[in-house]
Structure 1
């Protein structure tokens, strides 16, 4: 299992209704994509929920790496790059992921990327992150809780999908969810 995300920072005066329309029109095209756990179509508006930028930043949970490969080499991603440019695609190895049956009802997402200190006890961090994700998944409003790490830049990501707007905490980025594609 792996997580994946790319992000496009848009100008401060960008008409974000263009992104909303894109999500509405193209979002269902990935429903049922092979190997997909979920794709959350995310956007953030500058000044809303503490966001410093306008963003379009889809987040994926892949059950199988071949799904990510098929998507990135396919026509959907090619069309995206023609519209918005060539993004840096971040990937993480899953430590723990839980999803609720009502995952498609998500309206908000929260994401926090945290640096892992050199020489940290990774097994201890993994175990604590798994426990944290499990506790979070038991909250009534939470529809997905993902904890994962990336050993190239040594970061961990905490990601959740929720029914209502989460509290802004620390360096979290809050997003609106326009659509959730499911397997």
Structure 2
């Protein structure tokens, strides 16, 4: 599996209702997309005290079963449209170490994402074991999806969760989002 995310930082005075409408109108278009485990349509508002975001963001997060799904999406009309409308984003990818998905994943209303740097010469086996344990703990704590994955190009680890409530933030670098739609197979 492959985790993927791109993010658009929007101006502080941007009308985020435009993003809400885009998610409502376009979100269902990816339902049933081949090789997609889920796509979470995520947004964060700078002035939303509950999610404590420093910026206005539109930042979809994907979990793919196989590279063919990712490739077909990035070379298809959906990505061409979002790039035309918001600019050419950097697309981050991570190889999945562990993913737990609850049957009720479609009811997620909030998401958390933490990206951390893996220090040089770390014990990657231990890092992986700890990350998997963290993902399992998040699932026990009520996460509807809990994904942990790493990228050996820039040595980062991502912890991603989907929730039906605002999750407890345990790391300073955690970004919280509102979920507008979850596309499923």
Unpaired runs of 5+ in structure 1?
none
The aligned counterpart of 1:39 is 39
The aligned counterpart of 1:2 is 2
Secondary structure, in 3 states, of the residue corresponding to 1:165?
Answer: coil
Asked if the contact 1:40–1:60 (Cα under 8 Å) also holds between the matched residues in 2, the reply is yes
The aligned counterpart of 2:26 is 26
Task: Select 2:135's aligned residue among 122, 133, 136.
Answer: 133
CA distance in 2, matches of 1:105, 1:20: 17
Task: Select 2:109's aligned residue among 107, 110, 126.
Answer: 107
Secondary structure, in 3 states, of the residue corresponding to 1:161?
Answer: strand
The aligned counterpart of 2:146 is 145
**Offset of residue 47 of structure 1:** 3.2
CA distance in 2, matches of 1:136, 1:8: 27
Q: Report matched runs for 1:1-183 at 5 Å.
A: 1-48=1-48, 49-139=51-141, 141-169=142-170, 170-183=172-185
Secondary structure, in 3 states, of the residue corresponding to 1:171?
Answer: coil
Asked if the contact 1:50–1:168 (Cα under 8 Å) also holds between the matched residues in 2, the reply is no
1:13-46 deviations in Å (ceiling 9; x for gaps)? 0000000000000000000000001000000000
Q: TM-score normalized by structure 2? A: 0.97
**Offset of residue 10 of structure 1:** 0.2
Secondary structure, in 3 states, of the residue corresponding to 1:134?
Answer: helix
CA distance in 2, matches of 1:175, 1:81: 21
CA distance in 2, matches of 1:132, 1:78: 35
**Offset of residue 168 of structure 1:** 3.1
Asked if the contact 1:36–1:63 (Cα under 8 Å) also holds between the matched residues in 2, the reply is yes
1:55-103 deviations in Å (ceiling 9; x for gaps)? 0000000011100000000001001111001000000000100000000
CA distance in 1, matches of 2:5, 2:117: 17
Pairwise CA RMSD: 0.8
**Offset of residue 131 of structure 1:** 1.3
Asked if the contact 1:39–1:182 (Cα under 8 Å) also holds between the matched residues in 2, the reply is yes
Q: TM-score normalized by structure 1? A: 0.98
